[in-house]
Structure 1
């Protein structure tokens, strides 16, 4: 079955009726967490909302005033997931999120054009493709693409766009001999006849269930951003089509303008300016490390020279690392002294080191680890690791100090 969205990809509103509505669930990822949302699965008499398939994401839109969160294909039917129930038999007006739809049309038709010319110009077949939220990529059956090839391909696809070449849809039966002349990229495994063909006149004829522009001029422009290594000796060609190119240019200019303000130099000088800053930062970091190591030695020596030093030493420093703590522990005679050190911001994860007599460290280490909500391990008089919270550091100090005082 062909949906109305496939018969007329440019239709933005469509009256239809509700066939069925049943409770359902949808798994979503929000802020990196997977959650299950309860709602309703709605089937309509027909739909202008494309169900995901052929490498193309689904459409968003409204059934009346109810937002459609997801559209999936089940055999020959489209299932719309919504938050509110709808009455079977109810007449409704469908509205498609046109900005999202037209973007998908541009990217999908652009992919067909790129794939067709990559094959005709270089003999590289498309093995898969992915439409991303910001950029898309075509996986080509070649280990690499030369910069000159990318440049030539970009020039060729944009020449076709300027030629105003029509893009038409044909529907062929499964036994039609013309199907033998058509490539099968994008055809779902469970498809039934008639088979939908996207024909870019004189360029490409390809089986596909997705939504497409009616003329290559509607693509506006294609920008090939470059290629990167793909899976199993293949190459991913990264591309933008139409409005995404305009948004990319706008964002790039905004970043460029910000860099001009920050670096106090024109765009042509940005690379040199950043290189100079990086070298300066590295030099400063190296100098700081040297100072930090010297400070660790001085801290330890100052403790050892204190006539009232006792058998417990503790220190917290925001700036520091494992080596800083190790130097202090090495300089202090930990066979006789218990040393507790932490580094890091007060409200952020940090590092800790507990050093001293082996048995004492072995007994106290796990307790310290638990109080600081950390992960770590110990041996030979050292217990160290990462900590999630400095909130109970004072409690740990009090515990260790009390333990040292109680010893004869």
Structure 2
């Protein structure tokens, strides 16, 4: 008896893949366990072994397709539960509540197997079997992944379409695709490092250019760099450079009137008190911890109201200011 799991395909595909599963199981009977999976795109048989070599997979695939070319007949018969011949059938064992005859599927000269599924009448109906390789399974098990019949053709068609698209995008032949992608990945990593360096340089230049405009005596800065491409990291770098242990900093990036990002940084107690109110004024949402409250704003045009809120807070903290 087989154990089925995952998605069950349409009846025609199911017939083909049940036949394939029995053939593969029989051909590799010395290593196969009793459980298989019939998936929408591919199928899996669980091997009762911790590892399988590429040479073994290749030899198994060659043997399977030879049997398909031999057009071996597949027949179904029913035996009584107490028939001695059942002892010669692979995958012996019936549920305790089983009643009636036992269904046995025979692949002539190859296998006799108890099975309740639907099968092909001839191995040539399987057309072709392609073993895609093995994957790590449960403890001391290996999953053998395979395709059969039209799924092999569809897989080739899909691979060819992908290959054509990559050839067009990468401007080289299929044999050079992997190396081209590796070069692109290296270039992206380098560009990310350069971008990070330029971001830090830009932040330092921004601080140097505008530092004389800060109200140091109020210990409160209101900054909008007018950079739509600014991000949270950009704001945090500026906050780190200014220092916010004793300074309240309100920083925004993005559109001047509509959507953008904001950061409120400063003494922990002040930020915990003011952060949610700032987010509410800006029509946005945010979160924070350890003296940083940041989020997304929908109404950047109300930055002036936030500034008034913060100035009022500062005036209460410094009555003489």
> How would you bin the TM-score normalised by the shorter chain?
0.7 to 0.9
1:138 corresponding residue in structure 2: 45
1:311 corresponding residue in structure 2: 221
Question: Which residue of 298, 307, 320 maps to 1:401?
Answer: 307
Question: Which residue of 227, 238, 242 maps to 1:332?
Answer: 242
The reply on whether 1:257 has 2:164 as its aligned counterpart is yes
Larger fraction in helix: 2
Task: Provide structure 1 residue ranges, at least 5 long, that are not aligned to the other structure.
Answer: 1-52, 60-99
Counterparts in 2 of 1:124-273, with a 5 A limit?
Answer: 124-184=31-91, 191-273=98-180
Shift of 1:402: 2.2
Q: CA RMSD in A?
A: 3.1
Larger fraction in strand: 1
2:188 corresponding residue in structure 1: 281
Counterparts in 2 of 1:25-40, with a 5 A limit?
Answer: none
What is the CA–CA distance in structure 1 between the aligned matches of 2:146 and 2:80, rounded to whole Å?
Answer: 33
Q: TM-score, normalised by structure 2?
A: 0.83
2:23 corresponding residue in structure 1: 113
Instruction: Go from structure 1 to structure 2 and tell me whether the alpha carbon gap of 1:149 and 1:58 turns closer, same or farther (over 3 Å shift).
Output: closer
Counterparts in 2 of 1:92-111, with a 5 A limit?
Answer: 100-111=10-21
Q: Deviations over 1:18-70 (max 9, x none)?
A: xxxxxxxxxxxxxxxxxxxxxxxxxxxxxxxxxxx8458557xxxxxxxxxxx
Higher RCO, 1 or 2 (CA under 8 Å, sep at least 6)? Answer: 2
Counterparts in 2 of 1:322-361, with a 5 A limit?
Answer: 323-334=233-244, 335-341=246-252, 353-361=263-271
Shift of 1:118: 1.6
Shift of 1:139: 1.1
Q: Deviations over 1:207-237 (max 9, x none)?
A: 1111111111000000011111111121111
- Equivalent pairs, count: 305
Shift of 1:368: 5.0
Q: Deviations over 1:160-199 (max 9, x none)?
A: 1111011111112222222222233897775432221111
C-alpha contact 1:183 1:207 (8 A) present in aligned 2: yes
C-alpha contact 2:214 2:221 (8 A) present in aligned 1: no
Greater mean alpha carbon deviation, residues 262-271 or residues 221-230: 262-271
Q: Secondary structure at the match of 1:311?
A: strand
